Amino acid sequence: MSRTVPYAQVDVFSPQPYGGNPLAVILDSSGLSDEAMQSIARWTNLSETTFVSSPQDAKADYGLRIFTPGGEVPFAGHPTLGSAHAWLEHCGMPHTPGTLIQECPAGLVTLRQHAGKLSFAAPKMIRTGAIEHDYLESLIADLGIPADRVVSHQWVDNGPGWAVIRVSSAQEVLDLHPNFTRAPKAMVGVIGAYPKGSPCAFELRTFAPGVGVSEDPVCGSMNASVAQWLIGSGEMTGPYVVSQGTCLHRAGRIEITPGDDGTVWVGGHTATMFSGSAVI
């Protein structure tokens, strides 16, 4: 028998209305099977749809499952911020004011509220190091990047399977027209720097054909792990802003803030654009 539950659609990572990455949030997923969650995620056809539940861990404020149209992922960034936003608006009360603990398949994720925005603590990466030569060759062929334009590359996997390639400029990132034939299951980002003094430090694009998303408009998990790489290598030492979604007519702005304890915080604007109920 079907029932009606609260639902929200949240715009994440943009100060401009409808300029970020939309997220569908089912605010009561109790009793839903994995198959039903996947069916809903395919139907919404957004890069992610999330399902909120009561947590199993007493330290957590709420539980979360995250589905793309192609399958479940253990962690993702914009769903983390957007779900926390929707949960708070739906009268969620965290154990500790100003701090939220999300329980998801990747473990417990800490979020904080500051100056009217939410940010999450970047989770530890499960895979790092240089991308293997043969796989890198396949990626740059599909992305259309000449080998001599690759500045650096790295596995930056915090759950979804991310790898990233750095090129010398933001314009090179914007000029990409990928065609994933050699690496159809790729989960890859490409990042390039803007000139010094620009409002944003980098342009980033994220391609996820491996989970049925040709290009993610604004990707928190990729930004989180890339930030850990750049800060850990000493390339970046202070707060910075990343632009994403430009080629999809979005205005994503991801705020990266290194903490004194080594934590990398990833934040940005969140706003509910649609709210109501869903039949599940």
Count of CB atoms situated within 10 Å of the CB of 184: 10
Task: Output the six-digit token pair for 277.
Answer: 């109920």
CATH number of the domain located at residue range(s) 133-265 in this protein:
3.10.310.10
User: Per residue in 121-151, is it b (16+ CB within 10 Å) or e — as a string?
Assistant: bbbebeeeeebeeebbebbbbbbebeeeebe
Regions of the chain with pLDDT less than 50: none
What is the phi/psi pair of residue 25, to 5°? -125, 115
Q: What residues are labeled active site?
A: 48
Residue span(s) of the chain under CATH 3.10.310.10 come to 4-120+267-279, 133-265
Q: What is the pLDDT of residue 195?
A: 98
Q: What is the pLDDT of residue 201?
A: 98
Nearest alpha carbon to residue 80 among 191, 188, 261, 219:
219
The strand pairing partners of 165, in sequence order, are 153, 190
Q: What is the pLDDT of residue 160?
A: 87
Calculate the alpha carbon distances from 270 to 78, 109, 122, 130, 189 in Å: 9, 18, 18, 34, 23
Give residue for tokens 């996820």: 208
CB 209 within 8 A of CB 180: yes
pTM (predicted TM-score)? 0.94
Among 3.20.20.70, 3.10.310.10, 3.40.50.970, 3.40.50.170, what is the CATH number of 4-120+267-279?
3.10.310.10
The type of residue at 20 is G
